[in-house]
Amino acid sequence: MTAEAALATSGATTKRGGRGARRERRSQGAQDQGRPYIVRNIPTYDILSEESLEKIEQTAERILAEIGIELRDDAEAMELYRKAGAKVTAKADDIWTLSFEPGMLREILKTAPAEFTQHARNPANNVQIGGRNVVFAPSYGSPFVMDLDQGRRYGTIEDFRNFVKLAQSSPWLHHSGGTVCEPTDVAVNKRHLDMVYAHMRYSDRAFLGSITAAERAADSVEMCRILFGADFVDQNCVIMGNFNTTSPLVLDGVTTAGIRTYAAAGQGSIHLPFLLGGAVSPLTMAGSVAQGLAESLASCALTQLVRPGAPAILASFFSSMSLRTGSPTFGTPEPAIGSLVMGQLARRLNLPLRCAGNFSTSKLPDGQAMQQSMMSMMSAIQGGTNYVLHSAGFLDGLLSMSYEKMVMDMDMCGALHAYLDGMEVNDDTLGFDALAELGPGQHLFSTQHTLRHYETAYWESTLNDDQPWETWSEKGTFDSALRANLQWKKTLAEYEAPAMDEGTDEALQDFIARRKASVPDMWY
Amino acid sequence: MTAEAALATSGATTKRGGRGARRERRSQGAQDQGRPYIVRNIPTYDILSEESLEKIEQTAERILAEIGIELRDDAEAMELYRKAGAKVTAKADDIWTLSFEPGMLREILKTAPAEFTQHARNPANNVQIGGRNVVFAPSYGSPFVMDLDQGRRYGTIEDFRNFVKLAQSSPWLHHSGGTVCEPTDVAVNKRHLDMVYAHMRYSDRAFLGSITAAERAADSVEMCRILFGADFVDQNCVIMGNFNTTSPLVLDGVTTAGIRTYAAAGQGSIHLPFLLGGAVSPLTMAGSVAQGLAESLASCALTQLVRPGAPAILASFFSSMSLRTGSPTFGTPEPAIGSLVMGQLARRLNLPLRCAGNFSTSKLPDGQAMQQSMMSMMSAIQGGTNYVLHSAGFLDGLLSMSYEKMVMDMDMCGALHAYLDGMEVNDDTLGFDALAELGPGQHLFSTQHTLRHYETAYWESTLNDDQPWETWSEKGTFDSALRANLQWKKTLAEYEAPAMDEGTDEALQDFIARRKASVPDMWY
């Protein structure tokens, strides 16, 4: 039998009308459709005691006060920190050590919103970030892409657009992400224009802008002014930048200039220490968490010094190391525990959190990939992460974005919607009548209760195969990676771009053309 | 390159001396070795409010009082329930409805231990069941077995022995389980003898006995008397039986006779409703949980009527249903939520719990298999399950025991050891000195802190491939299923049975021979 026939019977349809729509209602549950983001209905998983949390916080404060944060190549940021009360010690012409008295950064961050809206060009897709909300975005930053047909190769702008289209087509992601892969066929100093345009044109969800240089950050915001209108952009968050600290304990000037650009425009920013234990943070997880907290606090605070009230997201990316080979490891248990603790710390700060995601070191969309991903992703959603970057596609220790893994992760994100809905307990769901109707020993297929809940009781995967072995076997013994391969091709073949005002589109393209023409290509 | 060479470089060694042992210490962490069971160091994940828990408990009590439990074909059990205060209504000659006043079963169960020891023939492998303890046992009850070489076929006693040997060889399981697969090449009325012997001979861990007929349960206990001595067996739990209710709301006489046999001998029993929502329990998870609680309470209570103080384990197995096809689905989000709630209910009863495991409907050890397994298994360990049957090998909706999946699950169980250890927070793990030693911008590879923790900081998989793509690619681009395939073959090739006293072995074999000779083979 053909791959398409297999797919047709597997229910991986994206049709919206007639029988397809009914099947979709049945399979996804009416309550799960069209949610712009998840509002969690279960508590967070708080694993650490008050006493231990305080020890971590005290260590973070001690790091900030006694070791300090090194700031490089951004005198303007240095002045902002100094005016706010940081002790500044010059190490070299453009390198300073910033020391912060205990509590100082927390005080500064009191003007940062606990929760904010990032607007999408389709207002139905606005996302609420912070509080009980959970927003899933695809993976970010891989130089390579992978699929089962062509294997691993450098990403291109076509791959980039494909990933944006796949994310847009999934009901289980909420945000278009940012650098869904590096489009290595576009000049380094111009690719941000094509990337931001792809998010704007092929998705109608919220997205991230460029951060690799201050002028690219500015271009990203400028394109938003074309899309949303300058006044709207000044008053609302419509774009965010994802900024990495340079661990351990360094803020690079390119990063701080980018943070200042986003904050000055009233836009959002994510402040991410990428902590590989034993390499750029202590090998023990408590130490990694303390350091991550210190670095993210220092980075977040800059936003409030530029523009009080600018949205800032506390963040951490924990990973471990193979003690045998020295390789970084992702999706392992210790970082999952660290992410849960980071959630507790973020809530004590009353700041939104980005943490964890579907991490894996596997080089294929196989069992290892999904086992590691689940270990990491469960910690994200249980720990109360508000913005989950790397929700889909992550393989190869973040070096590769995988087409199949993206489909598999998006399906898993669907399951997590149902998980975060928790358990409704009321007379109807308790179902006493269902059992009383026919009594002991009788199947419940035909009870009123079953008929009433039949379309919505369970979330249903459109990727997993739950049918009997015989049925599965007759369909060709496909594993989930192969089904995912068929599914992304079908989704791309059926994809239709959301409508966009022609004048806006032309203005965006015109801006991009002018910016590209204004400077020669740079490839490094 | 050959499979063996690939394996050698993947670190999947079981060598115990010299370089192998050092590598193993490094890779597993000294603190993780030789643990007979896990003592959890993180709290349970309690997702439901007191009010909702009470509603579920009240519904369970109402089911027991107003609908009742149907008991079939066991007049002796009926008399025990009647004498304890149950209202008994005859429905037919050998069918009774038992009704229990609210609170009655809870009162009866106050004599059941909150925690108990199941003894292994190697006392170092005794397991503590209940409280903060977590015990992993392999999957149970599949008629088929699978591996990548031969595909799916009926299980044999050779397969059975192989699974016992694989479990015994893993540091990450604690218990040998029971019917690790159905040995379909041995007569139905005699296979329990070969199964119990295999656990006794090829493992030195605790195990489960037969429950398919009262005399087979009795044989299982009798074999324990040979192995442990009759007096020891009378005073200690050395074997347990896993008993299913016949949902909805029926106790079958074969089951209750088996329960009575184990309890009378002072041995342990597990009381498991297998609840497929919409088929044998309400489609809504709150209702399934209430029913599961009612059924397990009624079944557990019988043990205390036979012998107060006999170990009894509350249990539930939740699954959902594909609303599109009617197929049972495993490893889905709603049952995971149900399992977390069941954990809360068990703690309120102060009874040990068996719940969830590495469930999947996948027909291959692929991404789907591990994604679903993790969804289910995380709920087991986070929800406080004390005895996790189906910890390794489960595929095909429990119809097949997979050699590769068993290896993959056992490796995951290793990760869960580290996860349940949680985060140690003290001056050493907070690692302030590690950061202070070299300061901002300096890698921590060579710090004293790193060197001190280098052998034990992280749990390390012996199955997952965390190496760079190039290294992995040169080794043959194996996925995790193929690596698992190589690993189980190597483990079986290197397996050595734990020593057993010759006289005991002969006595066991003699008992088996006599029992087998005493009745003709039965094949149904």
Helical spans, DSSP H, in B350-501? 367-382, 403-421, 427-430, 432-438, 448-453, 469-474, 480-494
Nearest to B277 among A337, A425, A457 (CB): A457
Range of the domain at A436: 432-458
User: How far is it between the farthest Cα atoms of chain A?
Assistant: 83
Q: How far is CA A110 from each of CA A162, A297, A351, B250, rounded to the nearest angstrom?
A: 40, 12, 9, 59
On whether both B205 and B115 belong to a single domain, the answer is yes
The amino acid at residue B143 is P
Select the residue of A323, A423, A465 nearest B454 (Cβ to Cβ).
A323
Residues contacting A113, CB < 8 A, separation 6+: A130, A309, A311, A352
* C-alpha span between A101 and B237 (Å, rounded): 59
Task: For residue B441, list chain A residues with Cβ-Cβ distance below 8 A.
Answer: 70, 246, 248-250
The answer to whether residue A25 is domain-embedded is no
Across A100-210, the runs of DSSP E, i.e. the strands, are: 115-118, 127-130, 133-136, 144-147, 151-154
pLDDT of residue B324: 81
Residues of A in contact with B325 (CB under 8 A): 466-467
Rg, C-alpha atoms of chain A? 24
- Which of these three, A421, A443, A475, is where a domain ends? A421
Residues on chain A touching B415 (C-beta within 8 angstroms)? 332-333, 375
Mutation test of the interface with chain B: which of A10, A142, A145, A363, choosing the one with the most B Cβ atoms within 10 A? A363
Put simply, the chain A residues between 45 and 104 with a CB less than 8 A from any chain B CB are: 45-48, 52, 55-56, 59, 62-63, 66-70, 97
Let me know: does A333 contact B416? Beta carbons within 8 Å: yes
Name chain A contacts of B26, Cβ cutoff 8 Å. Answer: 323-324
Same domain, B303 and B404: yes
User: Could A287 and B468 be called an inter-chain contact, meaning their C-beta atoms sit closer than 8 Å?
Assistant: no
Q: Are residues A139 and A228 in the same domain?
A: yes
For the four alpha carbons of A123, A128, A134 and A135, in that order, the dihedral sign comes to positive
**pLDDT (0 to 100) of residue B129:** 98
DSSP string, A330-342: -S-HHHHHHHHHH
Cβ distance of B282 and A55 shorter than 8 Å: no
- Judged against a pLDDT cut of 90, whether residue B351 lies above it is answered with yes
C-alpha closest to that of A299 among A351, A341, A235: A351
The answer to whether the Cβ–Cβ distance between A287 and B365 falls below 8 Å is: no
Tracing tokens 């429950």 back to the chain, one arrives at B211
Packing angle of the helix pair A403-421, B333-349 (nearest 10 deg): 40
Cα(A59)–Cα(B33) distance, rounded to whole angstroms?
A: 31
Q: Is residue A130 part of a domain?
A: yes
Nearest CB to A367 within list B277, B290, B366: B366
Residue A262, in any domain of the structure: yes
**Helix, coil or strand: residue B14:** coil
d(CA A433, CA B63): 10
Q: What is the pLDDT of residue B23?
A: 37
Interface size A-B, in CB pairs within 8 Å, comes to: 443
Interface of B with A in 131-150 (CB under 8 A): 144
Q: For residue B405, is pLDDT > 50?
A: yes
Contact A466 B329 (CB under 8 A): yes
- Smallest Cβ distance to A453: which of B283, B455, B477? B283
Tell whether B95 is covered by a domain: no
pLDDT of B368 > 50? The answer is yes
Q: Please name the member of A55, A327, A460 whose beta carbon is closest to the beta carbon of B323.
A: A460
Residue A278 is nearest to which of B23, B450, B479, comparing CB atoms?
Answer: B450
Q: Considering only alpha carbons, which residue of chain A is nearest residue B417?
A: A333
Cβ separation of A382 and B442 shorter than 8 Å? Answer: no
CB spacing of B371 vs A366 below 8 angstroms: no
Q: Dump strand ranges (E) for B93-239.
A: 95-99, 115-118, 127-130, 133-136, 144-147, 151-154
Residue B85 lies in a domain: no
Domain identity same for B316 and B406: yes
Contact A332 B458 (CB under 8 A): yes
Minimum-distance CB partner of A458 among B144, B334, B372? B334
Whether A468 and B327 have beta carbons less than 8 Å apart is answered as yes
Say if CB A382 and CB A47 are below 8 A apart.
no
The answer to whether A376 and A356 are in contact (CB under 8 A) is: yes
- A310 phi-psi bin (left φ>0, alpha ψ -120 to 50, beta other): beta
B268 assigned to some structural domain: yes
- For B94, other C-beta atoms within 10 Å of its C-beta total 13
Global pTM value:
0.94
Residues in chain A with CB shorter than 8 Å from the CB of B322 are: 458, 460, 466-467
DSSP-derived secondary structure for B67-105: I-EEEES-HHHHHHHHHTT-EEEEEETTEEEEE--TTHH
List Cβ neighbours of B80 (8 Å cut-off, separation of 6 or more).
B260, B302, B305, B306
Do B168 and B221 fall into the same domain?
yes
Question: Cβ–Cβ of A290/B416 closer than 8 Å?
Answer: no
Which amino acid appears at position A353 of this protein?
L
Chain A positions in Cβ-Cβ contact with residue B424 (cut-off 8 Å): 284, 286
Query: In the numeric block, which tokens belong to residue B67?
Result: 């609908």
**A444-449: long-range contacts, CB 8 A cutoff, minimum separation 24:** A444/B248, A444/B278, A444/B279, A444/B280, A444/B281, A444/B282, A444/B283, A445/B278, A445/B279, A449/B282, A449/B283, A449/B284, A449/B287
Q: Do A375 and B375 touch (CB under 8 A)?
A: no
How many residues are recorded in chain A?
524
Residue A334 to residue B472, Cβ atoms within 8 A = no
Element (H, E) at B287: helix B285-306
Domain assignment present for A253: yes
Within 254-313 of A, beta carbons closer than 8 Å to B belong to 277-291
Asked whether the beta carbons of residue A378 and residue B373 sit closer than 8 angstroms, the reply is no
Instruction: Select the residue from B458, B459, B461, B473 to test the A interface by mutation, using most A Cβ atoms within 10 A.
Output: B458
CB A394 within 8 A of CB A409: yes
Whether B421 and B31 have beta carbons less than 8 Å apart is answered as yes
The 3-state DSSP composition of chain B as helix, strand, coil percent (nearest 5) reads: 50, 15, 35
Structural domains counted in chain A: 2
A285 to chain B, closest Cα gap in Å: 7
Q: Return the closest-CA partner of residue A339 out of A323, A324, A358, A325.
A: A358
Q: How far does the CA of residue B140 sit from the closest CA of chain A (Å)?
A: 18
The reported pLDDT for the residue numbered A524 is 86
Domain co-membership, A375 together with A444: no
Mean pLDDT of chain B: 93
**A438 and A322 part of one domain:** no
Which chain A residues are within 8 Å of B382, Cβ to Cβ?
45, 382
How many Å apart are CA A411 and CA A480, to the nearest integer? 11
Chain A CA closest to residue B277: A444
Same domain, A233 and A363: yes
* A127-130/B387-388 β-pairing: unpaired
Q: Are A290 and B432 a contacting pair at CB < 8 A?
A: yes
Of the partner residues B321, B369, B465, the one whose CB lies closest to the CB of residue A363: B465
The closest CB to that of A320, out of B43, B279, B458, belongs to B458
Across the interface, whether the CB atoms of A469 and B400 are under 8 A apart is answered yes
Q: Tokens 């304990």 appear where? A: A249
Last residue of a domain, one of A361, A392, A421: A421
Q: Is B26 on the interface with A (CB under 8 A)?
A: yes
CA dist., res. A250 & res. B384, Å (int): 41
Q: Which of A70, A365, A434 sits opposite B282 (nearest CB)?
A: A434
Q: What is the pLDDT of residue B149?
A: 98
Asked if B136 and B388 count as a contact pair (C-beta separation under 8 A), the reply is yes
Distance from CA of A1 to the nearest CA of B (A): 18
ipTM: 0.94
pLDDT, one tens digit for every residue, chain A (524 residues): 233 333 333 333 333 333 333 334 334 433 346 699 999 999 999 999 999 999 999 999 999 999 999 999 999 999 999 999 999 999 999 999 999 999 999 999 999 999 999 999 999 999 999 999 999 999 999 999 999 999 999 999 999 999 999 999 999 999 999 999 999 999 999 999 999 999 999 999 999 999 999 999 999 999 999 999 999 999 999 999 999 999 999 999 999 999 999 999 999 999 999 999 999 999 999 999 999 999 999 999 999 999 999 999 999 999 999 988 889 999 999 999 999 999 999 999 999 999 999 999 999 999 999 999 999 999 999 999 999 999 999 999 999 999 999 999 999 999 999 999 999 999 999 999 999 999 999 999 999 999 999 889 999 999 999 999 999 999 999 999 999 999 999 999 999 999 999 999 999 999 999 999 999 999 98
Q: Who has greater pLDDT, A2 or B286? A: B286
CATH number of the domain at B135, please. 3.20.20.480
What gap in Å lies between CA A316 and CA A443, rounded to an integer?
49
| pLDDT at B3 > cutoff 50 | no
Torsional sign, CA B488, B491, B494, B499? negative
Would you state the pLDDT for residue B34? 63
Q: Which of B503, B310, B267, B353 is nearest to B40 (CA)?
A: B353
Interface of B with A in 396-415 (CB under 8 A): 396-397, 399-400, 408, 412, 415
Distance between CA atoms of residues A54 and A60, nearest Å: 10
Give strand pairing partners of B328. B321
Q: Which of residues 304-363 of B touch A (CB under 8 A)?
A: 320-325, 327-330, 332-334, 336-338, 341, 361-363
Q: Which secondary-structure segment (H or E) carries A276?
A: strand A274-276
Structure tokens at B94: 């050998």
The answer to whether residue A394 sits within a structural domain is yes
B268 lies in the same domain as B350: yes
| The token pair that represents A494 in the structure block | 């059926």
3-class SS of residue A365: coil
Calculated CA dihedral for residues B137, B141, B147, B152, nearest 10 degrees: -170
Which is nearest to A265 in space by CA: A232, A226, A295?
A: A232
For residues A344 and A377, the answer to whether their CB atoms sit within 8 Å is no
Domain check: are A383 and A301 in the same one? yes
Q: Are the CB atoms for A393 and A139 separated by under 8 Å?
A: yes
Q: Which residue of A has its CA nearest to B433?
A: A282
What is the DSSP secondary structure assignment for residue B384, as one 8-state letter? T
Q: Are B338 and B454 found together in one domain?
A: no
- Angle, vertex CA B343, rays to CA B338 and CA B345, nearest 5: 95
**Chain B residues within 8 A of A66 when measuring between CB atoms:** 436
Measure B307 CA to nearest chain A CA, in Å. 27
Closest among B131, B135, B105 to B116, alpha carbons compared: B131
Q: Are residues B122 and B263 in the same domain?
A: yes
Is A475 in contact with A10 (CB distance < 8 Å)?
A: yes
